[in-house]
């Protein structure tokens, strides 16, 4: 496994090439092209804000609600898209896997990095809404944003490696994951405030949810005033994500030889 990880570092140019190809292929033939990377999060924010602010009238939580919601919704979109696409990446890239010496783990990693680029493209939309609503982050805590980003990248990569390896042999995994992500979204404090008195009885379940700590961290860094109080939970999640990554990569490496035949 260690040898495989060392070799993965050598494939960074291949990963960069495939990420670029994925980004170009995604919008090839479209009129707006990469501009969709800005339009999609803007439309997402507008729709969610309209539904939960005006139709469901969720006005008792943090205000402005649109900014509060989007600080966690944007990274969730990166996570959800990455997991959904990465789970089936080995099957869809079967022609590459069957080639001699092609590193299969590159495929889910490329998916994650390509979606991370879209996440980064969506940040100007978030910044624009923060400026419009006069939401100013705590500049002293802003460096923690990059720590949260790294922890999410490690956790997403670990989960993607595990699920992509399992889906090669169990094709139901992809459909199961798609439905579980819907439940996971509503079980995470993204569209509602985790500190709301109505949800205090569910704090134990929030603590067990890895993405809860990511969502809360984004909200505390970018939206709420005051110090970043959730940093110890974030650091614990980071340590757990590193351990999870090695465990997931071990499973992936053990199943690697069966991929070419199974796909």
Q: Where does residue 85 rank: exposed (0-12), middle (13-18), buried (19+ CB within 10 A)?
A: buried
pLDDT at 37 over 80: no
Whole-angstrom Cα distance, residue 56 to residue 50? 9
Higher pLDDT, 182 or 57: 182
- 69 Cβ contact list (under 8 Å, min separation 6): 45, 48, 49, 52, 190, 191
Residue carrying structure tokens 């602010």: 53
- Indicate the range of 44-53, 167-176, 177-186, 193-202 predicted with least confidence: 44-53
Confidence grade of residue 11 (pLDDT, cut at 50, 70, 90):
confident
Contact assessment for residue 108 and residue 193, using Cβ atoms and an 8 Å cutoff? no
Contact assessment for residue 248 and residue 97, using Cβ atoms and an 8 Å cutoff? no
pLDDT reported for residue 155: 98
Q: What is the mean pLDDT of residues 17-43?
A: 73
Higher pLDDT, 151 or 169: 151
Whole-structure pTM value: 0.90
Q: Residue ranges of the domains in the chain?
A: 2-262
pLDDT at 262 over 70: no
pLDDT reported for residue 200: 83
pLDDT at 235 over 90: yes
pLDDT at 31 over 60: no
pLDDT reported for residue 34: 61
Q: Where does residue 105 rank: exposed (0-12), middle (13-18), buried (19+ CB within 10 A)?
A: buried
Q: Where does residue 64 rank: exposed (0-12), middle (13-18), buried (19+ CB within 10 A)?
A: middle
């Amino acid at each position: 496994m260690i040898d495989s990880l060392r070799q993965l570092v050598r494939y960074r140019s291949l990963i960069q090439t495939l990420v670029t190809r994925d980004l170009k292929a995604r919008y090839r033939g479209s009129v707006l092209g990469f501009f969709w990377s800005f339009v999609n999060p803007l439309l997402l924010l507008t729709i969610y804000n309209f539904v939960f602010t005006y139709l469901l009238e969720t006005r008792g939580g943090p205000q402005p609600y649109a900014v509060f919601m989007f600080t966690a919704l944007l990274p969730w979109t990166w996570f959800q898209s990455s997991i959904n696409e990465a789970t089936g990446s080995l099957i869809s890239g079967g022609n590459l896997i069957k080639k001699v010496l092609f590193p299969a783990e590159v495929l889910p990693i490329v998916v994650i990095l390509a979606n991370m680029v879209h996440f980064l493209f969506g940040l100007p939309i978030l910044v624009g809404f923060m400026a419009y609503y006069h939401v100013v982050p705590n500049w002293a805590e802003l460096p923690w944003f990059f720590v949260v980003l790294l922890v999410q990248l490690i956790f997403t990569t670990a989960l993607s490696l595990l699920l992509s390896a399992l889906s090669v042999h169990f094709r139901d995994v992809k459909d199961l994951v798609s439905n579980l992500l819907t439940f996971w979204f509503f079980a995470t404090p993204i569209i509602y405030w985790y500190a709301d008195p109505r949800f205090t009885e569910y704090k134990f379940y929030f603590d067990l949810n890895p993405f809860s700590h990511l969502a809360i961290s984004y909200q505390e860094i970018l939206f709420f005033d005051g110090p970043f109080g959730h940093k110890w939970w974030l650091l614990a999640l980071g340590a757990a994500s590193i351990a999870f990554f090695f465990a997931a990569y071990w499973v992936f490496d053990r199943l690697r030889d069966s991929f070419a035949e199974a796909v």
